[in-house]
Amino acid sequence: MKIKILKMICLPFILMAFLCLAGNLSAAQDYEKDYHQKVKQNDGTIGIIAGVINYVCPKLVPGSTKICNSEDPVGSAVGVQKYMEQNWDKEEDDIEDAKMPELLNKKAALQFWDAVEQFKMHFPYREKAKQAAEKGDWENALLNEEMAWQYLVKCASRGIFSKKLVDGE
Amino acid sequence: MFGKIRNSFQLVFIIMIASGLFASVNAQSLEEIMKTRGLSQTDMLAAAKTYTPSGKLDEYVVFSSGGQSGQVIVYGVPSMRILKYISVFTPEPWQGYGYGDDESMDIIYKQGSIRGKEITWGDTHHPALSETAAEYDGQYCFINDKANPRVAVIDLKTFSTTQIVANPIMKNEHGAAFVTPNTEYIIEASQIPAPFTNDYVPLTEFNEKYRGAMTMWKFSRKKGKILEENSFSVELPPYCQDLSDSGKNMSEGWVFTNSFNSERYIGGFGPGNTKFRDRLPHEAGMSSKDTDYLHMIHLDTAIKLFEQGKYKKINGHPVISMETMIANNALFLIPEPKSPHGVMINPSGQYLTVSGKLDTHVSVYDFKKMMKLINAKEYEGRDPYNVPILSMTKSLHGQVELGLGPLHTQYDSEKGIAYTSLYVDSAIARWDYLKLKLIEKIPIHYNVGHLVAAEGDTATPDGKYLIALNKLAIDRFTQVGPLHPQNHQLIDISAGHPMQLLYDMPLPLGEPHYAVMIKADKLKPLIRYKQKWFKNRVKPGRERIVREGNKVTVHSTLIRSHYSPEIIEVNKGDEVVWHLTNLERAQDETHGFSIYLYNINGSLEPGETSTFRFTADQEGVFPFYCTEFCSALHLEMMGYLLVKP
């Protein structure tokens, strides 16, 4: 019952996130305005991703690991990834082949792992966007913010996949 | 009080209606569906035995030849869901096989070419799975090409073709691919006799210069390849050798093949331009004798003769002559009912079943009796090539009348139980080859060729499922023109009840000729390639374009959802070498690579590197893009190749 309620709560958010991701198709090239809009959109998207992380995280790793912290979803996500990678020889093996500690749902965790990979990719572009904005280079600020958004989309895509797996859909 | 009663009454009434509605909705819906669709209880049972809900996996996997498509078809049992077409002899764009990348171009157009001719199709007939101790081990699949004698290796880590070898002496074959119990050798037997050399030899010299052969392809499991330099052939009489099998357990070390046209009849029907004109067709003369010959070849002796250098090279390939084989007691013939199709060794290796298509009997040979005759050198004669002939009656365990057109046999987990396809009868017979009696028959639709049972040609067959590979579907499927799909019919052969037909699967991709069925959990495919396996791997951050004279080498990477670099500019006439590495670590994140006009389409699976080479021989603008729907931003995964004048 709890799960159903959570699903009902989460689904609109996911839909909203998707609409939020797909909705901003403004053709006007007021780079400064578009940049600020995109920053808001990305912040909002990250907030929704954080909600998904908080929902999925406790269903991936045992509570005893104390990795999942709803106050710090990004830390939780990176924590799950590190937890999975602790015995991983990156040069030799694929992540699936790594000897992993206890996971509550390995299939979902592997999707989550990739979502985190995508999420991590967005950081340098947001940083570059900020730097460009500080210089008043609004076109590059927008482009970098857009690139960050691409990685958030990819993160959301895999994150939803992971959520579906933990929900057994 | 009255209110309470009324409320209770209402509650009970609502519950009654609700539960009644619920029950009737369920019951009605099932009954209605059955009634509307004309389904019987038996149909429902068959549906329940095959329906595989979303997310559930199959118990078995079938590798079926793709016939003239030159491919191998992979599907699951009992769901009969198609899982993959493995491209083998024929280019296949989705998997980027034969559309520009070095590896597949080398396999199809170089390894697969014969006498300098590129051949882009195949008539795949008999897939064989690699075995360890006569059990499928799930590592490799081998498949032959009847039309242009070749054998291919499919690596089941990737489910992709890794090698094609062309037979240097045969012009047509059939009895391939079959493996020895530990996959040391892959067997390929010829079918239509021809000279081993490539020159013109008139048919008047058929008996003297046309020959059959059996090639023993040495397989290295470590390298995952056929070692052509360690392979050899054995010369056979110019009969049409048919299907082969390798001995197992007590018959290990021997190889068997049957034959037709031991008459050596040459037809010529029709007003041709040779002395053979107006002779009756081949079909008339090739079945005029009551018997043809089952061939017994002692592989262990043949290997020793090869190692001792007792062969001559023809077209650069070692061939051991019949004379040498006979002198070393390594080649024998036994009469068998005429025009047979298949010799199948039972799990213990003692009994061989042979079915003459024009006889109603299946003949069961006893390997022990055959060996007794060989050891006593008790021959009933010799054929025109001096090959010793063993007595059929003295070699037989017995014969069983099963029906019209017996063809191919597979074995059950229950001792003595076998299944034989009956082509003319359009039926499958369940019978006991030890007690020599027919148990039951089930009709199929129609004209079954081969059949396959779960692990049915291993040392420990599973029983459970059998598939009839039927040729003429006629009325089984919605008409789609004069050419009907083939019909693979799944049959429940579980012990304890009569055989039950479960499912019809149409296969509209060539004539799937033969199949093998393996337990799904024996297959351990890769989830992705390891990037370090590829010598041309492009590491992230090291993408670049390098020009040396008129050779431009592009080192690219792909990841959701972009190429790096995305714009490449070259000059007209430049030789372009383009390495692409898919950096994805996520499962199934395959990216495509297609360029306008250059007939290039790559499929780069996660971790894979491919190299494409072409001459930029036309100036202009050539967009390239990812042909896989790899992410929400898939359409943006594109770039330009700009060719300057």
Q: Give residue B26's pLDDT.
A: 53
3-class DSSP state of B105:
helix
Are B158 and B184 part of one and the same domain?
yes
What single-letter DSSP state applies at residue B110?
Answer: I
Q: Give residue B13's pLDDT.
A: 45
Calculate how close chain B gets to A115, using CA atoms only, in Å.
Answer: 9
Weakest mean pLDDT among B52-56, B278-282, B620-624: B278-282
If one counts every other C-beta atom within 10 angstroms of the C-beta of residue B295, the result is 28
Beta strands B638-644 and B567-571, pairing class:
parallel
Q: In this complex, do A114 and B561 lie within 8 Å of one another by their Cβ atoms?
A: no
Weakest mean pLDDT among B1-5, B21-25, B589-593, B614-618: B1-5
Calculate how close chain B gets to A99, using CA atoms only, in Å.
Answer: 16
* Number of domains forming the structure of chain B: 2
| ipTM of the complex model | 0.71
The residue-averaged pLDDT of B582-589 equals: 90
CA distances from A39 to A31, A115, B295, B538 (A): 12, 20, 79, 33
The residue-averaged pLDDT of B11-22 equals: 46
The two tokens of residue B81 are 């869901």
Of A89, A116, A150, A160, which to mutate for an interface test with B (greatest number of B Cβ within 10 Å)?
A: A150
Calculate how close chain B gets to A124, using CA atoms only, in Å.
Answer: 14
User: Is B486 inside any structural domain?
Assistant: no
By the 10 Å C-beta count (0-12 exposed, 13-18 middle, 19+ buried), B128 is classed as buried
DSSP string, A20-68: HHHH-------HHHHHHHHHHHHHHHHHHHHHHHHHHGGGTS-GGG---
What does the radius of gyration of chain A's CA atoms come to, in whole angstroms? 17
Q: What is the pLDDT of residues B422-443, one digit of tens each?
A: 999 999 999 999 999 999 999 9
Cα–Cα distance for residue pair B593/B603, rounded to 1 Å: 6
Of A94, A96, A143, which to mutate for an interface test with B (greatest number of B Cβ within 10 Å)?
A: A94
| CB neighbour burial string for B206-222, b if at least 16 within 10 angstroms, e if fewer | beebbbbbbbbbbbeee
Are B275 and B194 part of one and the same domain?
yes
pLDDT band of B2, cuts 50, 70, 90: very low
Q: Give residue A34's pLDDT.
A: 94
User: Is B270 inside any structural domain?
Assistant: yes
Are B510 and B550 part of one and the same domain?
no
DSSP string, B284-336: HHTT-SSEEEEEEEEHHHHHHHHHTT--EEETTEEEE-HHHHHHTT-EEEEEE
Q: What is the pLDDT of residues B301-337, one digit of tens each?
A: 999 999 999 999 999 999 999 999 999 999 999 999 9
Residue A94: list chain B partners with CB under 8 A: 527-528, 530, 585, 607
Are B514 and B538 part of one and the same domain?
no
Are B625 and B512 part of one and the same domain?
no
- The CATH number that applies at residue B69 is 2.130.10.10
Cα–Cα distance for residue pair B174/B144, rounded to 1 Å: 8
Domain limit, last residue, from B456, B489, B522: B522
The residue-averaged pLDDT of B605-627 equals: 97
Are B514 and B548 part of one and the same domain?
no
Residue A22: list chain B partners with CB under 8 A: 632
Q: What share of chain B is helix, strand, coil (3-state, %, to 5)?
A: 15, 45, 40
B500 close contact with A: CB closer than 8 A? no
Nearest-CA neighbor of B512 among B466, B476, B478, B470? Answer: B470
B632 close contact with A: CB closer than 8 A? yes
Cα–Cα distance for residue pair A46/A74, rounded to 1 Å: 9
Q: Are B230 and B218 in contact (CB under 8 A)?
A: yes
Are B401 and B547 part of one and the same domain?
no
Higher pLDDT, residue B5 or B530? B530
Cα–Cα distance for residue pair B631/B563, rounded to 1 Å: 13
User: Is B360 inside any structural domain?
Assistant: no
What single-letter DSSP state applies at residue B587?
Answer: T
Question: CA-nearest residue of chain B to A112?
Answer: B586
Q: Are B177 and B128 in contact (CB under 8 A)?
A: yes
Q: What is the pLDDT of residues B183-209, one digit of tens each?
A: 999 999 999 999 999 999 999 999 999
Calculate how close chain A gets to B563, using CA atoms only, in Å.
Answer: 14
pLDDT band of B115, cuts 50, 70, 90: very high
Domain limit, last residue, from B522, B554, B587: B522
Calculate how close chain A gets to B585, using CA atoms only, in Å.
Answer: 7
> Does a cis peptide bond (omega within 30 degrees of 0) precede residue B177?
yes
What string of pLDDT tens digits covers the 169 residues of chain A? 444 555 545 554 554 444 444 444 444 479 999 999 999 999 999 999 999 999 999 999 999 999 999 999 999 999 999 999 999 988 777 888 889 999 999 999 999 999 999 999 999 999 999 999 999 999 999 999 999 999 999 899 889 999 999 998 8
Q: Could you give the maximum distance between any two Cα atoms of chain B, in Å? A: 113
Residue B560: list chain A partners with CB under 8 A: 118, 154
Q: Give residue A5's pLDDT.
A: 52
Average pLDDT of the residues of chain B: 94
Main-chain dihedrals φ then ψ at residue B421, nearest 5 degrees: -80, 140
- pLDDT cut 90: percent of chain B above it: 86
User: Is B3 inside any structural domain?
Assistant: no
Q: Give residue B27's pLDDT.
A: 52
DSSP run (H or E) holding B546? strand B544-548
Of B532, B631, B636, B638, which to mutate for an interface test with A (greatest number of A Cβ within 10 Å)?
A: B631
Main-chain dihedrals φ then ψ at residue B85, nearest 5 degrees: -110, 120
Main-chain dihedrals φ then ψ at residue B47, nearest 5 degrees: -60, -45
User: Is B185 inside any structural domain?
Assistant: yes
Q: Which amino acid is at B187?
A: I
If one counts every other C-beta atom within 10 angstroms of the C-beta of residue B57, the result is 11
Are B256 and B173 part of one and the same domain?
yes
Q: In this complex, do B585 and A114 lie within 8 Å of one another by their Cβ atoms?
A: yes
Q: What is the pLDDT of residues B237-265, one digit of tens each?
A: 999 999 999 999 999 999 999 999 999 99
The two tokens of residue B24 are 């009737």
Q: How far is CA B144 from the centre of its chain?
A: 7
Are B93 and B147 part of one and the same domain?
yes
Question: CA-nearest residue of chain B to A118?
Answer: B560
Residue A158: list chain B partners with CB under 8 A: 586
Return the ∠ at Cα B452 (arms to B450 and B458), rounded to 5°. 120
Are B264 and B178 part of one and the same domain?
yes
pLDDT band of B18, cuts 50, 70, 90: very low
Q: Give residue A90's pLDDT.
A: 82
Cα–Cα distance for residue pair B297/B253, rounded to 1 Å: 9
Cα–Cα distance for residue pair A115/A110, rounded to 1 Å: 9
Are B199 and B239 part of one and the same domain?
yes
Counts of helices then strands in chain B (DSSP H, E): 9, 42
Instruction: Kindly list the domain boundaries of chain A, sorted by start residue.
Output: 2-167
Q: In this complex, do A96 and B527 lie within 8 Å of one another by their Cβ atoms?
A: yes
Q: Give residue B631's pLDDT.
A: 83
Q: Give residue B6's pLDDT.
A: 47
Q: Are B123 and B512 in contact (CB under 8 A)?
A: no
Domain limit, last residue, from B487, B522, B557: B522
Q: Give residue B527's pLDDT.
A: 87
DSSP string, B119-179: -----B---EEEEETTEEEEEEEEEEETTTTEEEEEETTTTEEEEEEE-SS-S-EEEEEEE
Residue A116: list chain B partners with CB under 8 A: none
Q: Is the pLDDT of residue B16 over 70?
A: no
Weakest mean pLDDT among A92-101, B171-180, B473-482, B578-587: A92-101
Are B395 and B535 part of one and the same domain?
no
User: End-to-end distance of chain B based on CA atoms, in angstroms?
Assistant: 101
Q: Print the domain residue range for B579.
A: 531-644
Cα–Cα distance for residue pair B576/B579, rounded to 1 Å: 10
Q: Is the pLDDT of residue B1 over 80?
A: no
Q: Give residue A4's pLDDT.
A: 53
